Chain A
Amino acid sequence: MTCKELTERVMAFRDRELPLSTRLSLQFHAAMCPCCRNLLTSYDTLVEMSAELADVQVPDELAREFDDMILTAMRPPT
């Protein structure tokens, strides 16, 4: 497996969607290649970091005006 082939398969590897033989050759390549080891760990870090961007709460202000927004939506078009 080349670096390029590994790069194309990182997501499938993470999601455990690769057949065993491909999985093994990927792991073998990564063991030999610092570049690709770096890719595997940073890919995970990136995915974790992205989840931190989620804003879980609806702002109070929006919650307060939400009924007005619904009324606005139901108003006939002008």
Chain B
Amino acid sequence: MATALPQRYLHPVAQLLSGSLVERLRRRDRAAFTELCHSHRDRLYAIALSVLRDREEARDALQDTLTSAWRSIDQLQDDTALGAWLGRIVLNHARMRLRSRRRKPMELVDDFETWFSADGHRASDPPVWPRADDAIDRARFANRLGELAAGLPEELHVVWALADVQHLSMQEIVDLTGLHLANVKTRLHRARLLLRERLGAEIGRPA
């Protein structure tokens, strides 16, 4: 990490040799950049894929990310957390691709309020899900879940994908999205409720 002496006290050659990864990157050291890309490859691809759910698009988002990272490398600060920096770039590219994709006609709408009557009770009984230990075709349901999730509003979809598919911690999601923790939680909960309602309507039986 940080060198013991401030950089200005070191001989230029020593500076070159002692440079941290961030310092090497700021000098546009190609080997350092290659090293950086390799060490973050799997995580960046996983983030892109969880948001886009399409391998080709995730690959393209990853390429965009590497290109943006190389071009904005001058902006790195000594204390830049490289993982979070790259994570934000890949998430931005994935979101741009998600937005430009044609939306499904059956977009899930946040109709939470309509599920309840004025006294706060369920207006109509939601379908009963098969129990988790029933012999259900989990792979098929999971697949359908992925399709339904693509119809979520983008701001809910991204948080859901990072939290529930990618299993990132709440703090990682806060760092990646720049949202407040409370906001991340609210979005995740809304996304889950919508998906549960919608998938339940397909796989559940009437109450």
Contact = CB atoms under 8 A, between A and B. Distances in A.
Given A11-B188, A55-B49, A69-B63, A42 B167 contact: no
A69 B66 contact: yes
B179 interface: no
Given A3-B122, A74-B33, A52 B142 contact: yes
Interface in A1-43: 2-5, 7-8, 10-12, 34-36, 38-39, 41-43
A33 B69 CA distance: 53
How many A residues are at the interface, by size bracket?
Answer: 35 or more
Nearest to B128: A38
A50 B66 contact: no
A43 B196 contact: yes
Nearest to A45: B132
A70 B33 contact: yes
Nearest to A65: B59
Contacts of B55: 55, 59, 62
Interface in B34-75: 34, 37-38, 41-42, 45-46, 49-50, 53, 55, 59, 62-63, 66-67, 69-71
B49 A46 contact: no
A61 to B, nearest CB: 8
B165 A10 contact: no
B2 to A, nearest CB: 27
Contacts of A42: 129, 196, 200, 204
Nearest to A34: B207
A interface secondary structure, majority: helix
A36 B59 CA distance: 41
Contacts of B66: 69-70, 72-73
A10 B189 CA distance: 8
Nearest to A47: B164
Interface stretch (B8-16, B94-102, B112-120): B112-120
A52 B70 contact: no
A53 B142 contact: yes
B119 A58 contact: no
Given A49-B142, A51-B165, A2 B120 contact: yes
Contacts of B195: 46, 50
8 contacts: A11-B188, A46-B192, A50-B142, A53-B146, A54-B46, A54-B50, A62-B59, A73-B33
Given A10-B193, A58-B41, 4 more contacts: A3-B116, A55-B55, A70-B33, A77-B71
10 closest Cβ pairs, A-B complex = A2-B120, A73-B66, A50-B164, A42-B129, A4-B120, A11-B189, A4-B116, A73-B67, A52-B142, A45-B132
